[in-house]
Amino acid sequence: MATTRVERRLTAILAADVVGYSRLMGCDEQGTLERLKAHRRELFEPLLAEHRGRIVKLMGDGALCEFASVVDAVACAVAIQQSMAGLEQDLPEAERIRLRIGINTGDVIIEGDDIYGDGVNVAARLEGLAEPGGICVSGWVHEEIARKLAVSFVPMGAQRVKNIATPVEVWRVVPGGGAARAEPMRQRRAFKPALAALALILAFGVSAGGWWWWNQNRESSRASGASLPTQPSIAVLPFSNLSGDPRWERFADGTTEDIITNLVRSPDLVVIARNSTMPYKGKPVDVRQIGKELGVRYMLEGSIQAEAGRVRVTAQLIDATSGSHLWAERFDRPEAELFAVQDEVGRNVATALGGWYGKLHEVRRMEARRRPASLEAYDLFLLGLEQKHQYTKASTQEAIRLLSRAVEIDPGFARAWLMLGIAYSLSAASGFVDDPLAAVQAYVECVRKAAALDPYDAHLMTHVGWVSALEGDQKGAEQAFDRALAMGTSDANALSSAAWALPLLFGKADEAVPIARRAMELDPAGVAGHTPALVIAQYIAGRYEEAVEASRLAPLDGGEMLMFYAMAQEQVGQVEEARKAAERIRTEFPSFTVENYIRDCPVTSPKAQAAIREGATKAGLMPVVTQ
């Protein structure tokens, strides 16, 4: 019996899709259709012809195209995206027509003017992985044109895509300036391959360190006059000396200045300069009147008293609009610890006012809930933080939902983008999601957006460092963490994030331990959130008994912390406890694996990799390698 011969050919396939097509049509159906037709007629079809391609078929909001040459396909895609960006740049962001493009090369089945097969399916899946205005290509395409076009490529790792049996190696195209042309180019240094989220940070345009210095001259606003600024605003009144000793008078002035110095480092606060508050020194305090004169909502006042070899410092936070006391704290120390007290008071008061768990944060959260109509995005942000800090699978998913809504309402909300990214990162590291690569990619995208909006946040700078590490840029990562530690000396979150990273990225476990402890001291109400960094540092440093003890304060509700807990217990001989923790990982977080954690976190330090693999093998979380 004769069989029909199937016609095949090797070809390059380009799949394109309009981003947010349904939303655009819902907002302006006629206008959207007219613009799409004009773009197709004046841009898409001429560029296809120029690059010797053809439209195989149109599919509502998408198109499937074919090229005889892979070089022509990629050059055409770059030209289309660059031209589209230029045509739409004067429109509001929400109204712009943007495309995602995926390109593959492979053997296809020919049926009339149509084409079918895995080669086509892969191109369509690559299109779905591209960001708006972006281009993703398969590994086969990358191999063909790596040195033939004025473009560079960012590795996104091996991706599992729907209806394709084996993972597909994916690369993101980064235009090298100007329209893409089929011309020779100098060889570029390749990035280290890692995972799906590797080098999205390239959108920053420069390395983390250079990017920081490029932005450093931006001036933060300061309140003036009687009107209240939109940010929380505070004046630190000169601390009173209750001892009568001129030596303690100087100490009181120094403490005032230290607190102001620490507070001005927070991008969340408008802080009145010391020269503006010193005229009130020694005068009766009418906080409402001073608040009006300085144009601030909050005031901090305090006193210092030395007696019998000890020094007592008190501080209180006051709402200057009502005169009500919101918070008060007392610090008692030996007199011999004079300078240590001065530093500690400054750090602790600054953190109590501006930290994520601080009193000013609580006041602002109450304000947001009193006025949800005007502060909806901020209220969602605060609610999302509450959920994220619970560190459970359900709470992390809820945090992602709330924070996603917050940035949808206010796309310029940098801290909401950062916290959304951290929630995604937590979900990947803890085994809360089935696709950790996608969660890591979302994390990188969020950090990128946050960093573009606010380059002065020390906590955010640590995540710029994490992203640089994911990209394989160890030098950039070190620069970012050095900058974060210099900026965030009293930022518990920045210190905690840095302490988490130093052992895993650079093998600096012993250095990380005191940094983690300092974060916990600065933020005693948030100890549970900072303890994991301490546990990780202690374990990588080989201080297993300390890691076991610290783990009792940590939330053991995710794969990451359960893994370190199991490994530490195994190392101190508590085999049964280690086995219980390992079993919890297998049953509660089946998608969590040690190798995925090393890849996705990432763990780049050879010392840390070896410590984790050794401990995980002993704890039964990795198979025993036999010779």
Whether 282 and 345 map to the same domain: the answer is: yes
Angle at 124 between CA 120 and CA 126, to 5 degrees: 115
Residue 350 shares a structural domain with residue 445: no
Same domain flag for 164 and 24: yes
CB 312 within 8 A of CB 304: yes
Instruction: For residues 31 and 50, give the distance between their C-alpha atoms in angstroms, rounded to a whole number.
Output: 28
* Residue 33, domain CATH: 3.30.70.1230
pLDDT(479) > 80: yes
536 within a domain of the structure (yes/no):
no
Same domain, 83 and 180: yes
Q: Which residue has the higher pLDDT, 267 or 490?
A: 490
Question: Is the same domain home to 295 and 334?
Answer: yes
Q: What is the mean pLDDT of residues 54-59?
A: 88
- For residues 126 and 170, the answer to whether their CB atoms sit within 8 Å is yes
Least confident of 81-90, 201-210, 238-247: 201-210
**Is residue 64 within 8 Å of 57, Cβ to Cβ?**
yes
Asked whether residue 551 is domain-assigned, the answer is no
User: What is the DSSP code string of 268-319?
Assistant: T-EE--HHHHGGGTTSPP-HHHHHHHHT-SEEEEEEEEEETTEEEEEEEEEE
Pick the most confident of 6-20, 520-534, 613-627: 6-20
Nearest C-alpha neighbor of 334 from the set 307, 304, 303, 302: 307
The pLDDT assigned to 309 comes to: 79
- Predicted pLDDT of residue 288: 85
Do 352 and 376 lie in one domain? The reply is no
Q: What percent of the chain has pLDDT over 90?
A: 25
59 and 106 housed in the same domain: yes
Nearest to 97 by CA among 111, 86, 107, 105: 86
Q: Which ranges of 194-245 does DSSP label H, i.e. alpha helix?
A: 208-215
Mean pLDDT of 152-169: 73
- Which residue do the tokens 């199991």 mark? 566
Beta-strand relationship, 99-111 and 8-18 = antiparallel
Q: State yes or no: pLDDT of 398 exceeds 90.
A: yes
> What does the pLDDT average to over 460-485?
87
Range of the domain at 340: 233-362
CB burial of residue 275 (10 Å; 0-12, 13-18, 19+): exposed
* Helices 559-571, 527-540: inter-axial angle, 10-degree rounding: 50
The reported pLDDT for the residue numbered 101 is: 94
Please report the sign of the dihedral spanned by the C-alpha atoms of residue 225, residue 228, residue 231, residue 235. positive
Task: Supply 18's token pair.
Answer: 């309009």
Tokens of 98: 């943007």
Quote the mean pLDDT of the chain: 77
Q: Is the peptide bond before 590 cis (omega within 30 degrees of 0)?
A: no
Residue 17 lies in a domain: yes
Instruction: Classify strands 8-18 and 62-67 as parallel, antiparallel or unpaired.
Output: antiparallel
- Structural domain ending residue among the three candidates 489, 506, 523: 489
In a domain, 354, yes or no: yes
Among the ranges 75-84, 320-329, 429-438, which has the highest mean pLDDT value? 75-84
Mean pLDDT along residues 396-424: 90
| Range scoring the smallest mean pLDDT among 197-201, 401-405, 423-427 | 197-201
Mean pLDDT of 116-137: 87
- Radius of gyration over alpha carbons of the chain, in Å? 28
Domain boundary pick from 464, 489, 514? 489
Adjacent-strand bridge partners of 271: 234
pLDDT of residue 55: 93
Closest CA to 441 of 147, 128, 178, 99: 128
- Examine the domain organization and report whether 160 and 88 are in the same domain: yes
Banded model confidence at residue 76, pLDDT cuts 50, 70, 90: very high
Q: What is the DSSP string of 27-39?
A: H-HHHHHHHHHHH
User: How many domains does one find in the chain?
Assistant: 3
Q: What is the DSSP letter of 329?
A: E
Which amino acid is present at 90?
A: D
Of 135-149, 169-183, 395-409, the least confident:
169-183
Contact in structure between 274 and 234 (CB atoms under 8 Å): no
Among 99-113, 244-258, 341-355, the minimum mean pLDDT is found in: 341-355
Q: Are 123 and 13 in contact (CB under 8 A)?
A: yes
**Based on the domain organization, do 268 and 166 belong to the same domain?**
no
Q: d(Cα 57, Cα 63) in Å, to the nearest integer? A: 6
CATH code, domain with 275? 3.40.50.10610
pLDDT at residue 357, rounded to an integer? 39
3 state SS of 328: strand
| Residue 105 CB partners (closer than 8 Å, separation 6+) | 10, 11, 12, 13, 70, 73, 119, 138, 140, 141, 144
Name every residue whose Cβ is closer than 8 Å to that of residue 336 and which is 6 or more positions away in sequence. 309
Task: Write down the pLDDT at residue 403.
Answer: 92
**What is residue 202's predicted lDDT score, i.e. its pLDDT?**
23
Q: What CA–CA distance (Å, rounded) separates 194 from 188?
A: 18
- How far apart are alpha carbons 581 and 73 in whole angstroms? 51
Per-residue model confidence (pLDDT) at position 297: 82
* For residue 597, pLDDT beyond 90: no
**Same domain flag for 101 and 123:** yes
Query: How many H-runs (helices) and E-runs (strands) does the chain carry?
Result: 26, 14
Least confident window among 123-132, 300-309, 369-378, 614-623: 369-378
511-549 per-position pLDDT tens digit: 999 999 888 876 655 677 788 999 999 999 999 999 998
285 located within any domain: yes
Q: Is residue 352 part of a domain?
A: yes
Residue 455 in domain: yes
Question: At what angle are helices 544-551 and 559-571 packed, to 10 degrees?
Answer: 140
129 and 72 belong to one structural domain: yes
3-state secondary structure of 341: helix
HSE-up of residue 384 (Cα within 13 Å, Cβ side): 26
pLDDT at residue 208, as a whole number? 29
Pairing mode, if any, of strands 99-111 and 135-138? parallel
List, for residues 312-357, the tens digit of each pLDDT value.
Answer: 888 788 888 878 776 677 777 776 665 566 566 555 555 555 544 3
The reply to whether 45 and 165 lie within a common domain is yes
Q: Which amino acid is at 42?
A: E
C-alpha to C-alpha distance for 180 and 137, rounded to whole angstroms: 15
Residue at a domain's end among 489, 505, 532: 489
| Confidence (pTM) | 0.44
**Residue 385 lies inside a defined structural domain of this protein:** yes
We report the CATH number of the domain holding residue 424 as 1.25.40.10
Q: What is the pLDDT of residue 258?
A: 67
The contacts of residue 176 (CB under 8 Å, 6+ apart) are 149, 150, 151, 152, 185
Give the β-pairing of 298-307 and 233-236. parallel
Beta partners for 109? 8, 116
Give strand pairing partners of 154.
172
Please give the C-alpha separations between residue 203 and each of 154, 446, 603, in angstroms, as whole numbers.
11, 12, 23
pLDDT of residue 170: 84
